[in-house]
Every structure is written in C-alpha cells, then in structure tokens.
Structure 1
Amino acid sequence: MDILIVEDEIEISQLIQLYLEKEGFACRTCRDGLTALQIVQEQQPDLIILDLMIPGMDGLEVCARIRQKSDIKDPYILMLTAKSEEIDRIIGLSTGADDYMVKPFSPRELVARVRALFRRTLRQGGQGRNYQTQHFWVDVDQRLAQRQISPEESHPLDLTTLEFDLLTTFISQPGRVWNRAQLIEKLWGGDFYGDERVVDTHVARLRKKIEPDPANPTFVKTVIGVGYKFEDMPLEGA
C-alpha cells in the first residue's frame, strides 16, 4: 500500500514516515498542496495523510480537488490539523476526508487508523455480490454503482470509496434501520477512533449524489432518534 504524507513540518513528516515504514507501508512525502496534487495525479497513492495548514493551497482545497478528479484512483484521506474546534472537523470531513486527527497525536494511533482504513477495503473485497433495487444497482466486486432514472435510462454514480461502501450497506438491506454505531462498525470496523457524527456528514454527501432533492430525501431517510434507513423496492432475484 502506497501512502503520501503531505506535511510542511519536517519533524512531524519524518516521524509519521518512520512509524508507517516500520509497519511495512511505502511512503513518500511532500510539503505543499500543489506538489501533492501533482503526485496524486502521477503516482495515485492508496492513502493520503493530509495536513490542513500547508503552503500554497490548504488541505481542505487539496482534499476537495482530489475528490473532484474522475481520472485517478480514489484514495483514502486522513486529515491532520492543529485545530481542535468542532467546525474545523466538520468542514474537513465534508470535503471528503475519511478520517480526522488533531495534533498532537500518538503515532501508534495514527498507524491504527491507517490500518483501519485499509481494512475496510479488505472487508469489502472478494464478495462478488451485486445488489439491485428499483432505482439502484451496485456491483461490489467491480466497485460500480448506477441509478436507474427510467426503464430506458440509467446514470453511473461518481462516489468516493466511503460513499460507495455506505450505499452498498444501505442497498444490501432495504428497509433496515441503522444507527450510527452500526454504520461505523460496518464501514470502519471496531477500531474507529473518531466522532460518530462523521456518519451524518457522509450520509449528507451521499444524498447529494443519489437523491432527486437532497433536502427532502426519497431513499436515505432519517429515523429520528435512531439513525437512517434506505427505502427502495428490491428487485426479485437481485
């Protein structure tokens, strides 16, 4: 697994690289946002550890631009920042980051979070399953999803890795009510360290891509006081 570390503080960058390489990960580093985008385009790392405050272009903008790219592999993004205010965490996750850590942090915890993100890929791999409802189709093995607009028309869905996993979880059991803890266990596993409200952020992002009106969702419904459920008729034999 290839990891790109985008961090302008050399000591922190070297510390992260040291711990990750001890665990067998291949790492490269850079110190600014523009260089990071170039490396992502050319090298397509599996995961990016991205500092929020970096020269040239901040981490939020780098994260947003990476998520907008359709011609590269979709990497996991773990965002680092010295800021601890809740609003910064929410903004970071809303741009497409998969996880978030506040400095100072434990290098061992960072390694654990990296492993947890990669473990999501291993859990999803090898299932060889397709899920289909009246309006959606998901191929788990090929990592493809589409929305059926009409019997004659369907559109591919441009989803991040986490959005795809979230839709797959919902579509695998239409009508089931999921609470945040269950979704976190399904997507991140038992070694999740973040705030449960990260689920709300990613549900909102998924709604923007699959709902006709995200403000009044048709498919991903909020169950007040509990969590979320996916409402769409499953197709027989799917």
Structure 2
Amino acid sequence: MQAIVISHNQENADWFTYILRKEGMAVAISKQIQRVIPTLQERPVDLILYSTHMDESVMATVEEIKKNSAAFVVLVVDQLTEDEHCDLLDAGADWVLTRPVSGRLLARYLRRILRRSTNIPVTVLPEITSSEVILNPAARTVRLPNQEAQRLTQLEFRLLYVLMTAPGYIFTTDELVERVWGYEGEGNRGLVRGLVRRLRRKIEPDSENPQYILNIPSHGYQFVYHT
C-alpha cells in the first residue's frame, strides 16, 4: 500500500512514517496538505495520515481530500468535542485519533486497514467494451471510436467502472459515493455531480447533451450502452 504522511512537525512525521513502514507500507512525507491535494488524482495513494491542530479549516480540508481521492483518511488531532469528531467523520475522515497516540494502537489500526483492503489490482481487471466505449483498467484509459485513448484519474476510472459494469442500473448518489469513495455519503450530491461533469467532458461527444452517462431526475445516474 502507498501512504503519505502530512505533518508540520518533522519529528512526528518521522515517527508516523516509522510505524507505517514497519507495517509494510511505502510512505512519502509532506509538510503542506494543500500541496498534496492537487496531486492525488494523478498520483493516487491508499492511505493519508494527516496530523494537524484542530481548527475550522480541517473539516473543509477533509472534504477537499475526498473530492480528489478515494484514499483511507486517518486524522491525528488534539482533543476535540464529540460534535467535532462527528463532523469530521461526516466530512469523510475514516478514523480520527486524538493525541497522544499510542504507537501500538496506531499499528493495530493500520493492520485493520490492511485486512480490510480488498481492492483488486486494476491490472487484473478485464477490459470492458460496449459498441463504442472501451475501458482499459490496466492503462486506466477510455477510448471512443476514431479518438485517441483518454487517460482517467483514479476517481474518474472508479466511477466509469462502476457504471459500465452495471449498464442500465440507476445508481443513487449515496451508492456512488460508497462505491467510488468508499464511505457513506448522504448529502454528497455535489461530490458526485462534479465528478460526473469531469468524466462527461472526456467521453461524451457533447457533454451538455450526454449519451452515455445519464442523470435520472430524483433517482441517480446510469450508463447506457448504444448498439
């Protein structure tokens, strides 16, 4: 698994990195979360450990991470209220740990992540082909007739894969958030809508009048094969 540790405190970053590597993860380190977020779509990771002080910006930062990544998000913060804890979980954090964090406890959490990680490597997923759309999981590309293959981001690929493997099925917004981002997402219509918009720009001849990814009002989204 690929992980990234974000912390302004180098000593803390080194300690977290030691624990993650001891559990078998490949780890990168950064001091600035805002430098990491723009890279997540093209350089996806499996886990983000973000050590920070609790303030008003943290919840918005978690939401921004989830817009750009399906990674497992572990927050390490100072003491916080129950309401703040719930708000962070609702924003998309998978685990919220408060300082001081036991290295032994953190290692146990990481082992649970490894056990729960059931993602199938994209290199072994079969190519999906309709009469016009060809999705290549190994290359993470999509190709349409008479066009060059288009590279997809991690989230774009996940969304298109979910839709194409169940053509005609209408996925609710909550179902898509759970399958693409990996957490329950009640109320995250904007999250899905933004990703659908970006994906349509890559596969639809006219993104304003989509042929493949359709919005079914009051229900959700479906992928339509054209024969």
Q: Same fold (TM over 0.5)?
A: yes
For residues 193 and 75 of structure 2, the distance between their equivalents in structure 1, rounded to whole angstroms, comes to: 20
Deviates more, 1:129-138 or 1:110-119: 110-119
Match of 1:134 in 2: 131
Aligned to 1:171: 164
- Residue 75 in structure 1 maps to residue 44 in structure 2: yes
Which residue is 2:8 aligned to?
Answer: 8
In structure 2, the partner of 1:37 is: none
Give the 3 Å change call, closer, same or farther, for CA 116–145 of structure 1 in structure 2.
Answer: farther
**Structure 1 position 220, deviation (Å):** 1.4
SS where residue 165 of structure 1 aligns?
helix
List alignment gaps of at least 5 residues for structure 2. Answer: 78-95
Instruction: Give 1:227's match in structure 2, choosing from 215, 220, 227.
Output: 220
- Superposed displacement of residue 89, structure 1: 4.7
Task: Report the alpha carbon displacement of residue 136 of structure 1 after superposing the two structures with TM.
Answer: 0.9
Which residues of structure 1 form unaligned runs of 5+? 32-50, 53-57, 69-73
Alignment pair present for 1:98 and 2:84: no
2:153 and 2:168 map into 1 onto residues whose CA distance is: 23
Aligned to 1:76, what secondary structure does the other structure show?
coil
CA contact (8 A) 1:20 1:111 kept: yes
- 1:164: Cα distance to partner? 1.2
Matches within 5 A, 1:59-208: 59=35, 62-65=36-39, 67=41, 74-76=43-45, 78=48, 80=50, 83-86=57-60, 88-94=61-67, 96-99=68-71, 104=77, 105-106=96-97, 111=110, 115=114, 119-122=118-121, 124=122, 126-127=124-125, 129-140=126-137, 142-149=138-145, 153-187=146-180, 192=183, 197=188, 198-208=191-201
Q: Matches of 1:181 and 1:28 in 2, distance apart?
A: 32
Tell me how many residue pairs correspond in the alignment: 193
1:212: Cα distance to partner?
A: 3.4
Deviation at 1:168, TM superposition (A): 1.6
User: Between the two proteins, what is the percent identity of the paired residues?
Assistant: 21
TM-score by length of 2: 0.63
